[in-house]
Amino acid sequence: MIFVGYLNDATKMAGVGMGNTLLNMTGLSLASGLNGALETLVSQAYGAGDYKLCGTYLNRSRAVILIFFIPVTVFLMKCEDILISIG
């Protein structure tokens, strides 16, 4: 965003801002929420001394996040068309 700011073009700056906002809303915030659930489960299993369950939770969360990011990736690949269609 800093580099685009040096171009003194409001349209390009708005495009970068919209892109960052879209990426933060679709990818980063939802992934952070999913990892927050993992943090709760793993800390409970670790506190109980069940280290195997910690690994199980980790592997399951990897699969869930991978499955979750497939539609997010498709959405982000098509976001130009979506944003143009909504104006």
Q: What is the pLDDT of residues 21-63, one digit of tens each?
A: 888 888 788 888 888 888 889 999 999 999 999 999 999 988 9
Q: What angle do CA 45, 40, 58 make, to 5 degrees?
A: 65
Sorted by where each begins, the domain ranges of the chain are: 2-86
pTM: 0.64
Q: Tokens 């369950």 — which residue?
A: 53
| Tens of pLDDT, residues 4-24 | 777 888 888 888 888 888 888
CA 9 vs CA 2, 23, 36: distances in Å: 12, 21, 38
Q: Are 1 and 23 in contact (CB under 8 A)?
A: no
